[in-house]
Amino acid sequence: MSELRDFVADLLERRGAAVEALGPDRLEVLTPAPLRQQLGWPELTHLGFGAQQAAGTVAIALEGDWLDRFGALLADEGRWSERELRLPAPAPPPSDPERLLDRVLDLPNATWRLQGMSATWTRCLMLMFRLTALSDEKREQLIWLGFNLGTGAVINEILAQLRPALAQVDDWHMPDTATRRAAGPGWSSAALTARLRPVLEREARDVMEPFLRTMRRRLERDRDRVHAYHNDLREASLNRLLALDRASGDRAAADRRRETLRVEAIEREYRAKLDDLRRNYALRVTVEWVQALEIYVPVQRLEVLIRRRKGERIIPLDWHPLARMIERPLCEAGAGLDRVRLVCDDRLHLTDPAGHAPCTSCGKLFCRACFPNSCPRCHQTR
Ligand SMILES: [Zn+2]
Ligand SMILES: [Zn+2]
């Protein structure tokens, strides 16, 4: 239990409390006023971390809501925080949900039907990354990505709409138990990694594109300049050689040899200059995670029945009243940043078109959500 005790002591001290250890599983805490209110403690408090506690001691354990309360203390300065966004006034559900779905659902090989709609809460994860591109120049940029953990959808645009609202909330609060229960659980880190990678790669490429374009232009300009310079030198030498071909005698032979060596030297220097350019313009891109924010938001959840051949499956899609936007359907393989989804025969996965592309080696069409690592026929890794 001492890890928990140390964590709590450290956290409280950082927030202005005076903490003294009274043994391996007890702390005496002198708590300043604002912190007293947040934690509901008297000024002088004894905290206990063991199974047996003396009377008047606040028992702290991994169970219960203490970790949530301590998390709230960390939230505004930590790299991870959570808050709940409430509607300023009750919002009516969308009057024509089918029309909304029509805008975001494009299923070339399946049909869909709206089964129902209900108000609930969902949990959205906003992640901020720092992208650094280092070449002959350095470029840094922040990228925000978002997932609706309740539906699996990528909701970058919706979260972009919510960000100003988030900045304005000053009396933000922790989601209560009912909200958490309605919003459902989060994702395992494996599930998050699998979903995050394609979206982050795509986003990083998009963000880097203007930088890459200007870099490519500079590289082409430098390469043309290097080429023109060495080409002129080489042409002049070759012309001299041509003239020497018509002459005879020892003198001419020596000149020819010298000129031939000169041509070789020019070619060598040209290749070396190209290598230099390659090194100067080599691009190193690093992406690092900066911050995560989990927000609990009210939504209207649309249950959509997807039919493909004999199979059917219900997928949830949320309409976000705070942004007045509907999200695109989840994409179980690929970034899925546009609205086209192909549905697989076996498990009715939704993927973007690339997620059903033919195998590059044997040509078999297969679902990248069913077979994320290799082709089921030829086992070629993709
Ligand atoms: Zn194959
Ligand atoms: Zn599949």
Number of domains in the chain: 2
Please report the pLDDT score of residue 1 as a whole number. 46
Query: Would 131 be classed as within a structural domain?
Result: no
Average pLDDT, whole number, for the chain? Answer: 88
- Ligand closest to CA 365: 1
Please report the pLDDT score of residue 369 as a whole number. 94
Query: Would 220 be classed as within a structural domain?
Result: yes
Q: Residues 84-98: what's their mean pLDDT? A: 88
Q: How far is the CA of 329 from the centre of ligand 1 (A)?
A: 28
- Ligand closest to CA 351: 2
Residue corresponding to tokens 């991994």: 62
Query: Would 34 be classed as within a structural domain?
Result: yes
Q: Residues 71-93: what's their mean pLDDT? A: 76
Please report the pLDDT score of residue 22 as a whole number. 85
Q: Among residues 253, 284, 315, which one ends one of the domains?
A: 284
Query: Would 11 be classed as within a structural domain?
Result: yes
Q: How far is the CA of 103 from the centre of ligand 2 (A)?
A: 24
Name the residue with higher pLDDT: 170 or 192: 192
Q: How far is the CA of 194 from the centre of ligand 2 (A)?
A: 15
pLDDT digits (tens, 9 = 90+) for 274-289: 999 988 888 888 888 8
Residues whose Cβ atom is located within 5 A of ion ligand 2: 344, 347, 349, 367, 369-370
Q: How far is the CA of 370 from the centre of ligand 1 (A)?
A: 14
Q: How far is the CA of 364 from the centre of ligand 2 (A)?
A: 14
Q: How far is the CA of 366 from the centre of ligand 2 (A)?
A: 8
Q: How far is the CA of 350 from the centre of ligand 2 (A)?
A: 7
Q: How confident is the model at residue 2 (pLDDT cuts 50, 70, 90)?
A: low
Residues whose Cβ atom is located within 5 A of ion ligand 1: 359, 361-362, 364, 375, 377-378, 380
- Ligand closest to CA 355: 2
Are 283 and 299 in contact by the 8 Å Cβ rule? The answer is no
Query: Would 333 be classed as within a structural domain?
Result: no
Q: Among residues 54, 78, 102, which one ends one of the domains?
A: 78
d(CA 138, CA 132): 7
Q: How confident is the model at residue 63 (pLDDT cuts 50, 70, 90)?
A: low
For residue 115, pLDDT beyond 90: yes
Name the residue with higher pLDDT: 289 or 149: 149
Name the residue with higher pLDDT: 163 or 273: 273
Query: Would 234 be classed as within a structural domain?
Result: yes
Other CB atoms within a 10 A radius of the CB of residue 50 amount to: 15
| Of the candidates 71, 112, 80, the residue with the CA atom closest to the CA atom of residue 304 | 112
Query: Would 58 be classed as within a structural domain?
Result: yes
Range of the domain at 278: 208-284
Please report the pLDDT score of residue 106 as a whole number. 96
Name the residue with higher pLDDT: 161 or 16: 161
Name the residue with higher pLDDT: 289 or 343: 343
For residue 343, pLDDT beyond 80: yes
Distances in Å between the Cα of 65 and the Cα atoms of 6, 39, 61, 62, 187 are: 18, 11, 9, 8, 20
pLDDT digits (tens, 9 = 90+) for 225-269: 999 999 999 999 999 999 888 888 888 889 999 999 999 999 999
For residue 161, pLDDT beyond 60: yes
Q: How far is the CA of 349 from the centre of ligand 2 (A)?
A: 4
Lowest mean pLDDT among 9-18, 56-65, 69-78, 94-103: 69-78
Contacts with 252 (C-beta within 8 Å, 6 or more apart), sequence order: 244
Q: How far is the CA of 317 from the centre of ligand 2 (A)?
A: 19
Please report the pLDDT score of residue 82 as a whole number. 83
Q: How far is the CA of 39 from the centre of ligand 1 (A)?
A: 59
d(CA 187, CA 152): 10
Percent of the chain with pLDDT over 70: 95
Q: How far is the CA of 191 from the centre of ligand 1 (A)?
A: 25
Q: How confident is the model at residue 125 (pLDDT cuts 50, 70, 90)?
A: very high
- Ligand closest to CA 356: 2
Please report the pLDDT score of residue 76 as a whole number. 52
pLDDT digits (tens, 9 = 90+) for 12-57: 887 788 888 888 888 999 888 878 888 888 888 898 887 777 778 8
Query: Would 364 be classed as within a structural domain?
Result: no
Q: How far is the CA of 315 from the centre of ligand 1 (A)?
A: 30
Q: How far is the CA of 371 from the centre of ligand 1 (A)?
A: 11
Q: How far is the CA of 308 from the centre of ligand 1 (A)?
A: 24
Are 333 and 367 in contact by the 8 Å Cβ rule? The answer is yes
Q: How far is the CA of 369 from the centre of ligand 2 (A)?
A: 5
d(CA 23, CA 47): 11
Let me know how long the chain is: 382
Q: How far is the CA of 336 from the centre of ligand 1 (A)?
A: 23
pLDDT digits (tens, 9 = 90+) for 319-342: 999 999 999 999 999 988 889 999
Please report the pLDDT score of residue 183 as a whole number. 92
Q: Among residues 261, 284, 307, which one ends one of the domains?
A: 284
Q: How far is the CA of 108 from the centre of ligand 1 (A)?
A: 23
pTM: 0.70
Q: Residues 79-101: what's their mean pLDDT? A: 87
